[in-house]
């Protein structure tokens, strides 16, 4: 979810986590209003658990150079894939979809291209199309755990958490203890209101040698959903530092407090709460 919110983690994953956790907060009654190519990340509502914007790391000159190379030879699959990846990393979702759609039309049997195209469609919120493309991005005889994880993300986004969890379980049979899959599975449990299972799964993910900051931040999200803010803050501080971790937890406590407040107080704060939800879901 992700981002609640995994192929290789990226900026779109942060958007995914923000959107899914906003929905989780609604379902769990914690907020008046809610990780993961799409596969893992971390951010709740207005909380920015990942800190720096990925777009800041992709200079405009680099994007322009990749665009020039792609335009010079649209049949160069490698150049097109790199250009689309850069567009996705800078949150230019529709442009990335357009590039990958053309690549896929020229290479309809290239499963790597189809996987990238399906994930890009998911980034753009075009879930039905993403699901159709991802189904053709691998075969039962040669399943790809990254594609299965992306399919699970799409299922979570559309509310089919049981199917998502089955897909993650299948992916784990191919890549046991892969932290990105475990992170997605944990977040899916959270969306299903199965917070204890979510915590157990995310702790297993964090314990893996390849676990990164996004996986740890997803554990912090679930700890926060369980009201264990001090523990969540300690986990966040490993990567964000004490000040930013504390700021995130203050906001999360405030969201929970607004939900727990008397109805008269909730009514007074209703408009800001709804605005936060819309911002999260976009």
For the residues of 200-233, what is the DSSP string, one character each? HHHHHHHTSTT--HHHHHHHHHHHHHTT-HHHHH
pLDDT of the chain along its 282 residues, tens only? 444 344 333 344 444 455 555 544 444 444 333 344 345 433 333 455 555 444 444 468 888 999 999 999 999 999 999 999 999 988 899 999 999 999 999 999 999 999 999 999 999 999 999 999 999 999 888 899 999 999 999 999 999 999 999 999 999 999 999 999 999 999 999 999 999 999 999 999 999 999 999 999 999 999 998 999 999 999 999 998 899 989 888 888 888 787 766 655 545 444 333 322 222 222
For CA atoms 53, 54, 57, 63, the dihedral sign is negative
> Residue holding tokens 């290239």?
110
Alpha helices in 175-194 (DSSP H): 179-191
Q: Which CATH superfamily is domain 11-281 in?
A: Tetratricopeptide repeat domain (1.25.40.10)
How many helices (H) and strands (E) would you count in the chain? Answer: 15, 0
Which sequence spans correspond to the domains of the chain? 11-281
């Amino acid at each position: 979810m992700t981002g609640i919110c995994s192929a290789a983690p990226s900026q779109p994953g942060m958007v995914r986590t923000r959107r899914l956790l906003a929905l989780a907060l609604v379902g769990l009654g914690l907020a008046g209003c809610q990780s993961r190519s799409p596969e893992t990340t971390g951010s709740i509502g207005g909380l920015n658990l990942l800190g720096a914007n990925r777009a800041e790391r992709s200079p405009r000159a680099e994007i322009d150079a990749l665009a020039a190379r792609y335009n010079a030879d649209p049949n160069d699959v490698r150049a097109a894939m790199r250009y689309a990846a850069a567009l996705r990393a800078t949150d230019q979702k529709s442009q990335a979809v357009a590039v990958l759609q053309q690549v896929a039309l020229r290479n309809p049997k290239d499963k790597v291209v189809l996987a990238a195209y399906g994930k890009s469609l998911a980034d753009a919120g075009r879930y039905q199309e993403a699901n159709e493309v991802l189904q053709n991005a691998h075969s039962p005889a040669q399943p790809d755990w990254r594609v299965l994880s992306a399919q699970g993300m799409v299922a979570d986004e559309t509310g089919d958490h049981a199917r998502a969890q089955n897909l993650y379980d299948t992916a784990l049979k191919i890549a046991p203890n892969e932290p990105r899959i475990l992170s997605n599975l944990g977040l899916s449990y959270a969306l299903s209101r199965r917070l204890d299972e979510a915590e157990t799964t995310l702790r297993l993910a964090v314990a893996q040698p390849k676990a990164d900051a996004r996986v740890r931040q997803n554990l912090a999200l679930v700890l926060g959903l369980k009201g264990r803010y001090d523990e969540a803050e300690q986990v966040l501080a490993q990567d964000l530092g004490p000040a930013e971790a504390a700021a995130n937890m203050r906001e999360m406590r405030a969201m929970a407090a607004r939900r727990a407040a008397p109805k008269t107080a909730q009514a007074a704060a209703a408009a800001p709460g709804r605005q936060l939800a819309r911002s999260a879901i976009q």
